[in-house]
Amino acid sequence: MYALSLSMNGIYEDKNGDAISGLTILLLGWLGIFDGVLAWYANPCLLLSLVLLFKIPTVSRWMALAGFLMGATALGIRQMAVDESGSQVAVTLGAAYYLWWACFLIAFLAAVGGHGGDD
């Protein structure tokens, strides 16, 4: 699912319909912190959740939950900077975002559902 989200459109500019792919968001999303968006930083949480799934399921659950909550900060995105001068454009989240965000729920459920081994 994660890999599929990278190939899909994650953000659309409302005015002209231009799209930004999930892969581009993965590469540049860390810059969102300058606009108060922490969603990109959920990616390391997902990675840790998956690495710890069979070793420390309790921590895996917490990492997936933390990532899910950080990922939710993207739901507040209504505008995005497009250049160094701070010009903003109205944006809408695309299918890639929702697919990516669902990865955290699946990681959490895997850890809760016993697929993560014993605590």
What pLDDT, in 10s, does the model give residues 18-27? 999 999 999 9
- Residue 50 and residue 74: Cα distance in Å, rounded? 22
Confidence of residue 72 (pLDDT cuts 50, 70, 90): very high
Q: Are 21 and 8 in contact (CB under 8 A)?
A: yes
- Residue 26 and residue 28: Cα distance in Å, rounded? 6
Does pLDDT of 118 surpass 80?
no
Mean pLDDT in residue range 13-41: 91
Average pLDDT, rounded, for the chain: 91
Percentage of the chain lying above the pLDDT 70 cut: 95
- Residue 119 and residue 113: Cα distance in Å, rounded? 12
- Residue 63 and residue 61: Cα distance in Å, rounded? 5
What pLDDT, in 10s, does the model give residues 47-69? 999 999 999 999 999 999 999 99
Tokens of 41: 């930083």
Q: What is the pLDDT of residue 32?
A: 85
Residue 15, judged by CB atoms within 10 A of its CB (0-12, 13-18, 19+), counts as exposed
pTM attached to this predicted model: 0.87
Q: What is the pLDDT of residue 100?
A: 97
Query: Alpha carbon 113 to chain centroid distance?
Result: 22
- Residue 11 and residue 91: Cα distance in Å, rounded? 6
- DSSP class of residue 58 equals H
